[in-house]
Structure 1
Amino acid sequence: MPPARPPSRTPPDGPPSAPLRALVSWALYDWANSGFAALVQTFVFAAYFARAVAGNETLGTAWWGNMMGVAGLVIGLGGPVLGAVADHTGRRKPWLAVFTTLCIAATALLWFVRPDPAFVLPALVLAGIGTIGSEYAMIFYNSMLPDLAERTRIGRWSGWGWGLGYAGGLVLLVLALYGLVRAPGWFGIPHHDALNVRAVMPLTALWYLVFCLPLFLFTPDTPSARVPLSRAVAGAAARLRGSLRDLRNHRHIALFLLARMFYNDGLTTMFAFGGIYAAATFGMDSSEVIVFGIGLNVTAGLGAAAFAWLDDRLGSRRTILLSLMGLVVPGTAILLVKSKTLFWIFGLAIGIFVGPVQASSRSWLAHAAPAEVRTEMFGLMALSGKLTSFLGPFLVGWLTLATNSQRLGMSAVIGLLAVGLAGMLFVPEATAHGREQDRA
């Protein structure tokens, strides 16, 4: 017989709102973490790797896609188990600290990756480790929200967190562009051997380290259940098997996780290859890619903040559907246009809808998941987002190699978003009390 579920530490109608300082400190972690996604995975290091380290943009795109696919598989397989362990032990912050440190260390070490094919393997290994650390950390970070905010305010705090994340990415991109990448720079870093681009990596690591501290200092954690780790692991494995079986009793959550599996894979792939696509297809240099990243973070931050109110008013499901439609239409246009100006227009339009679909996915599950297995469910959400996460990067890489066209390769992103949109049509809306009403 599997061990009993740990007792719920949250009243059925949600906890009283935590102090404002605790909530702001929680949201500030998005500000800290976003630098890795913006500067390592998308706009700086990914483009630098494909163009300067790999020495062949087509081959570099394929290698980067394979690395992201392997990292996604590791995240997908391990995330639910870690989430279930945290549900049994009670506390989230120790796990969050471990994986935050892992990501920070890997990011700092990317400084040593020189523009030479000999550094292809170290670059891929470090970027993969950083990706795993970042994504695992977000499982525990996301699951803290329902214990901090009233249920009627989960949507707006989730959206504000994403908005802060894009604002943080914006500020860091500006620092990277004018302080390091674009000559002469504020800090006097020379440009030979790509030192100015490589220096962005320790800057990103330092940013993450400094701005993650308020969460650890001022945001309360759930109490420890005082369960030994070995017993927690055994119990978590048994409970996870039970939860996967029990998903048939939570049809609404199962449908949501299935739909999210596809649209999140599309988003992840878009982020992984956005900088590479801009650099290779539209001939953007490092400075132009960063400027585009700055613009994208502006529109994404504004979209996440604005849609945060809509989430609480219209519901998470409607916000997700609207956002996915807002991603598919301009995303398709980007693959068809040849003008750099039109690429900018449609690319910035995409940014408006990126934050809301992510923030509302987090708030939907925060409403829907039973309190006693909430972190486990966020682990399953990581599984749904990563179980097929190898598919998008692999498809882009293989299609690019087969057709020698990044446009055709990136069409895989639109297909994944469209499948996710179709799946969300069958997902019911979350109620304000954490329960779902399945359709008859």
Structure 2
Amino acid sequence: MSAQTTDDAEPGAEDGRPARSGDGAAGAAAAAARKREQHGWYFYDFACSVYSTSVLTVFLGPYLTAVAKAAADSEGYVHPLGIPVRAGSYFAYSVSASVLVAVLIMPLVGAIADRSGRKKPLLAAAAYTGAAATTGMFFLNGDRYLLGGLLLIVANAALSLSMVLYNAYLPQISTPDERDTVSSRGWAFGYTSGALVLVLNLVVYQGHDSFGLSEGEAVRICLASAGLWWGAFTIVPLRRLRDRAVVRKTGPGAEPAVSGWKQLVATLKDMRRYPLTLSFLLAYLIYNDGVQTVISQASVYGSEELELEQSTLIVAVLLVQILAVAGALGMGRLAVRYGAKRTILGSLAAWGVTLAAGYFLPARTPVWFFALAAMIGLVLGGSQALSRSLFSHLVPAGKEAEYFSAYEMSDRGLSWVGPLVFGLTYQVTGSYRDAIISLVVFFALGFVLLARVPVRRAVEAAGNPVPERI
């Protein structure tokens, strides 16, 4: 399935992807149109990243755990659907459930987007579903742990769906040589918004008494404000991004519309034609599972195992956001010089060392937790941004959304193993330290698998031009 060059496509574009900038007025016009879309694209990271930061990383884990403990029986268990679950594991299990829901839907949404060429309406639907569910967390109080789990599942799955569509725009709005820089700037925009909203959250949370609020009310306002922010700034990319028309195949080679698991199987079968792309995706699935688990479980580790105050956790995550902006931009520059693959490998080594150090952190000692947060911030944004841009080179033209649905399953969709291992380890041992050290293996194995991928051959095999450095 290939994309059709339309009147509103950039001059020289094929398959909906921009050509390298040429000389003269046509080249200047194409570059200006591309820059406009890129600036709009950055703003979806700006819109949705506050969910990952304020909701998933800082407030919801400890708060939902507290709500579950309020509803727990005398032995510390809650019973969703009649299943006994330790209250301290409920949040991790809910994250895993949200990911499994997303897995069922993402391949179908990706295929529909590629075949219709209409990513933007699907992006709007997913974004505003997630924003509404997040705003609804304002009503999470008392012992409503089931409501909290449901809203988390809806919001997390909607975010995953929206990121499939958002990421699929990257090959269409940037030339191969721009890819690392554009992806890094998107992450930098996201971390900037996360830091800004966290400052506002810190004011509300720390000053809740002066505002006439209880601590729980302050947390619920912070949760809901993330949903309102997400919805408000989604307007910018929806105004600037363009849909590309596609050519539908007919006859014996046509691809029939399928649904659910059939589409997932069809996507994976197609990816077997590009084994090197699949090899990269396997490596990314493993090491990113560790990244996503750290993001979602760090606040629980800090509050439950290290016995840190909520305000300390907010400041630590704010530090991560600020340093992640510098890390994303700095690693983007390193990728220009050394290539994305080498830069990612360096970040994975740093991740492993950081988590190993986290195992030995003393309780009730904020300064060491801040040091750990600084180390995470410097590698977090860059490893995510460069992984996204590297994968965009490995995607065949016309299948961006479908392949990015598989990528998103690795990013958020299949990142249920880490939270599940984290939750099970705690359930068996009762120690979050044992849970955190178990994540080191994800980064070590991901490093080995990525090091074995010949990325230049992988780009050529996908039919894409190879950048000077990759």
User: Over residues 214-264 of structure 1, what are the superposed CA-to-partner deviations in whole Å (9 max), with x where a residue is unaligned?
Assistant: 11112222236689xxx9733998776444224333121111111111111
Cα distance, 1:142 vs structure 2: 0.5
| Residue identity opposite 2:422 in structure 1 | V
Contact preservation (8 Å) 2:4, 2:244: no
1:216 equivalenced with 2:238 (yes/no): yes
After superposition, the CA RMSD in angstroms is 2.6
Provide structure 2 residue ranges, at least 5 long, that are not aligned to the other structure: 6-12, 20-29, 78-85, 250-254
Taking the aligned partners of 2:387 and 2:215, their CA distance within structure 1 comes to: 42
1:269 equivalenced with 2:269 (yes/no): no
> Equivalences for 1:382-393 in 2 at 5 Å?
382-386=408-412, 388-393=414-419
Contact preservation (8 Å) 1:261, 1:386: no
Compared with structure 1, are the counterparts of its residues 243 and 45 closer, same or farther at alpha carbon in structure 2 (3 Å cutoff)? closer
1:163 equivalenced with 2:188 (yes/no): yes
Greater displacement, 166-175 / 284-293 = 284-293
| Residue identity opposite 2:206 in structure 1 | R
Greater displacement, 413-422 / 263-272 = 413-422
Provide structure 1 residue ranges, at least 5 long, that are not aligned to the other structure: none
| Residue identity opposite 1:271 in structure 2 | I
1:196 equivalenced with 2:218 (yes/no): yes
Compared with structure 1, are the counterparts of its residues 212 and 336 closer, same or farther at alpha carbon in structure 2 (3 Å cutoff)? same
State the match for 1:174 in structure 2: 199
| Residue identity opposite 1:269 in structure 2 | T
Taking the aligned partners of 2:433 and 2:134, their CA distance within structure 1 comes to: 29
1:366 equivalenced with 2:420 (yes/no): no
> Equivalences for 1:327-338 in 2 at 5 Å?
327-338=351-362
> Equivalences for 1:265-344 in 2 at 5 Å?
265-338=289-362, 339-344=365-370
1:34 counterpart (43, 49, 52)? 49
User: Over residues 154-196 of structure 1, what are the superposed CA-to-partner deviations in whole Å (9 max), with x where a residue is unaligned?
Assistant: 1101000001101110000001111x101257xx643336111
Aligned residues: 425
State the match for 2:8 in structure 1: none
Taking the aligned partners of 2:263 and 2:64, their CA distance within structure 1 comes to: 41
Taking the aligned partners of 2:342 and 2:66, their CA distance within structure 1 comes to: 40
Cα distance, 1:325 vs structure 2: 1.1
Compared with structure 1, are the counterparts of its residues 387 and 108 closer, same or farther at alpha carbon in structure 2 (3 Å cutoff)? closer
State the match for 1:133 in structure 2: 158
State the match for 1:47 in structure 2: 62
Q: State the SS of the aligned residue for 1:234.
A: coil
Greater displacement, 149-158 / 389-398 = 389-398
Compared with structure 1, are the counterparts of its residues 111 and 126 closer, same or farther at alpha carbon in structure 2 (3 Å cutoff)? same
State the match for 1:347 in structure 2: 373
| Residue identity opposite 1:102 in structure 2 | T
Taking the aligned partners of 1:239 and 1:205, their CA distance within structure 2 comes to: 31
Cα distance, 1:387 vs structure 2: 5.8
Taking the aligned partners of 1:261 and 1:141, their CA distance within structure 2 comes to: 19
Q: State the SS of the aligned residue for 2:104.
A: helix
| Residue identity opposite 1:265 in structure 2 | D
TM-score by length of 2: 0.84
Taking the aligned partners of 1:303 and 1:107, their CA distance within structure 2 comes to: 28
Indicate the structure (1 or 2) with the bigger Cα radius of gyration: 2
* Fraction of identical pairs, as percent: 26
Contact preservation (8 Å) 2:208, 2:218: no
Taking the aligned partners of 1:374 and 1:184, their CA distance within structure 2 comes to: 46
TM-score by length of 1: 0.90
1:245 counterpart (253, 258, 269)? 269
State the match for 1:429 in structure 2: 455
Compared with structure 1, are the counterparts of its residues 311 and 221 closer, same or farther at alpha carbon in structure 2 (3 Å cutoff)? farther
Greater displacement, 389-398 / 101-110 = 389-398
Taking the aligned partners of 2:273 and 2:257, their CA distance within structure 1 comes to: 24
Compared with structure 1, are the counterparts of its residues 20 and 246 closer, same or farther at alpha carbon in structure 2 (3 Å cutoff)? closer
Kindly indicate whether structure 1 or structure 2 has the higher relative contact order, using CA contacts under 8 Å at least 6 residues apart.
Answer: 1
| Residue identity opposite 2:358 in structure 1 | I
Contact preservation (8 Å) 2:323, 2:377: yes
